Amino acid sequence: MDNTYLDLAQRLQAIIDMATDGILTIDSEGSIESVNFAACEIFGYHQSELLGRNVKVLMPEPDKSKHDQYISNYHTTRKPKIIGIGREVTGLKKNGDLFPLRLAVSEVVLNDRIIFTGIVHDLTEYNQAKSEIISLNKDLEKKVSERTYEIEEVVNKLLKTNRDLESEIIERKYAEDQLVKQGKELKIALEKEKEFGDLKSRFVSMASHEFRTPLATILSSASLIQRYEQSDQQTSRLKHVERIKSAVNNLTGILNDFLSLSKLEEGKLTANFSLINVPEIVQSAIDDLKGILKPDQKFIVSVTGKPILILSDPQLLKNILFNLFSNAIKYSDDAIMVRMAFNDRMLIEVQDFGIGIPENDQKHLFDRFFRASNVSNIQGTGLGLHIIKQYLSLIEGEIALVSEYHKGTTFTISIPIKN
């Protein structure tokens, strides 16, 4: 075993040990073979107290009594109840406390035996946050009801005043104008409160899911890489290394989306204009994404007109193209067409031949956190196109789309030519 492999194994072990989710491996009889620090902290044990013990020590009744039979049934029927599926279960800490956790179990077939890898995530804080959101929504509904009642009272009083003061037309008109103004202001305030509550709920749900999935991929792949010790297993090792790199890229993309959204909404992001070579920026964005292209995918680039240097922000333009190219890769399997045109404006078209966007969803596509109805099983934050539109506004650009369901989508960005 050379130093490079040892160094990689040590790094992977360090990643597992420092993971925030718990990771355990058990043999086919249910005995714990390895457990990371996070799992020990979650259940309140020291590592030495768990190694060699049956995993059912971490389960309350009736799961504890049924566990051995479950493993036996699985070995006999190969029909899983949780293996390869994952679900929310109840865990048992060393001190006897019960708590909710998310459990994902994977079967790993080695050369001479089978082991099971379990990834556990403590859902206590998540469930508390969920309860708080429900409570906040109830409070918001109560406020809406109370304020609606207050408006009705104001209207009734003003109507009575109008009936009593019919001769005072000027005062009545003033009162009516004030009422309309107050009603609009109150409606705007209530809509903002409701929007904030909805955004908070959607953010918590989305962030919890989008972060957990790549983390689980990293942890499971890192654990599996440890098992491939032979030189002829390099292909398997590289496959899991690529899975880890892809998951890390997903996490980086999510964090960048959140950071960009925060900067945009706080007004901290501005455009830095300079003379740029657009074809070079297009090629740079393509080069950055070659590692995630699917089999048979490639970029086909064409240019109409004579390319010229234009005055724009190179980093914002590259971020815009990176997002559009990433979406084309994610939602299609075939070649991706990139067309540039230089006339009175600089146009860039990005066309894919993928799943397309349902017509009813297209008008909401640039809203925060909105995702089309046909991509719920594909990872994403729903922020990318919203951020693209904000970036384009900073460089006086525009974006349009044409999409046909199951046939593909074409995004066209238009930027004024200044030199």
Question: In this predicted model, what pLDDT tens digit does every residue of 283-294 receive, in sequence order?
Answer: 998 988 887 888
Provide the whole-model pTM.
0.45
At 292 the pLDDT is: 83
| Per-residue pLDDT reduced to its tens digit, 403-417 | 998 899 999 999 988
Higher pLDDT, 188 or 52: 52
Higher pLDDT, 196 or 171: 171
At 231 the pLDDT is: 65
At 409 the pLDDT is: 94
Among the ranges 67-76, 90-99, 233-242, 263-272, which has the highest mean pLDDT value? 90-99
At 208 the pLDDT is: 46
Q: What is the edge-to-edge ordering of all strands in the sheet holding 336-342?
A: 299-304, 336-342, 345-352, 408-416, 398-404
Name the maximum alpha-carbon separation found in the chain: 100
What is the chain's length? 419
pLDDT for 344 beyond 80: yes
Query: Reduced to 3 states, what is the DSSP secondary structure of residue 72?
Result: helix
Contact 101, 121 (CB under 8 A): yes
pLDDT for 253 beyond 80: no
pLDDT for 127 beyond 90: no
pLDDT for 154 beyond 80: no
| Per-residue pLDDT reduced to its tens digit, 200-251 | 455 544 454 445 555 556 666 666 676 766 666 677 667 766 667 655 665 5
Q: In the numeric block, which tokens belong to residue 124?
A: 């206590």
Question: Which among 212, 289, 285 has a CA at the least distance from the CA of 249?
Answer: 289
> What angle do the packed helices 314-330 and 384-394 form, to 10 degrees?
150
Question: Which among 51, 67, 197, 69 has a CA at the least distance from the CA of 133?
Answer: 197
For domain 274-416, which CATH number applies: 3.30.70.1230, 3.40.50.280, 3.30.565.10, 3.30.160.150? 3.30.565.10
CA pair distance 75, 81, nearest whole angstrom? 12
Class of domain 3-122: alpha beta
Query: How many C-beta atoms surround the C-beta of residue 160 within 10 A?
Result: 10
Task: Write down the residue that tokens 């304020």 correspond to.
Answer: 147
| Cα angle value 366/367/368 (rounded, 5°) | 120
Beta strands in 210-313 (DSSP E): 274-276, 299-304, 310-312
Beta strands in 239-352 (DSSP E): 274-276, 299-304, 310-312, 336-342, 345-352
pLDDT for 388 beyond 80: yes
% of residues, the chain, pLDDT over 90? 18
Least confident of 6-10, 113-117, 353-357: 6-10
CA pair distance 210, 78, nearest whole angstrom? 30
Classify residue 203 by burial, with Cβ atoms within 10 Å: 0-12, 13-18, 19+.
middle
H or E element at residue 121: strand 114-122
Range 104-116 average pLDDT:
81
pLDDT for 257 beyond 70: no
Beta bridge partners of 408: 404
Task: Return mean pLDDT, the chain.
Answer: 79
At 296 the pLDDT is: 87
At 116 the pLDDT is: 85
At 85 the pLDDT is: 73
At 325 the pLDDT is: 92
Residues near 162 by beta carbon (within 8 Å), at least 6 away in sequence: 172, 175, 176
Residues near 376 by beta carbon (within 8 Å), at least 6 away in sequence: none
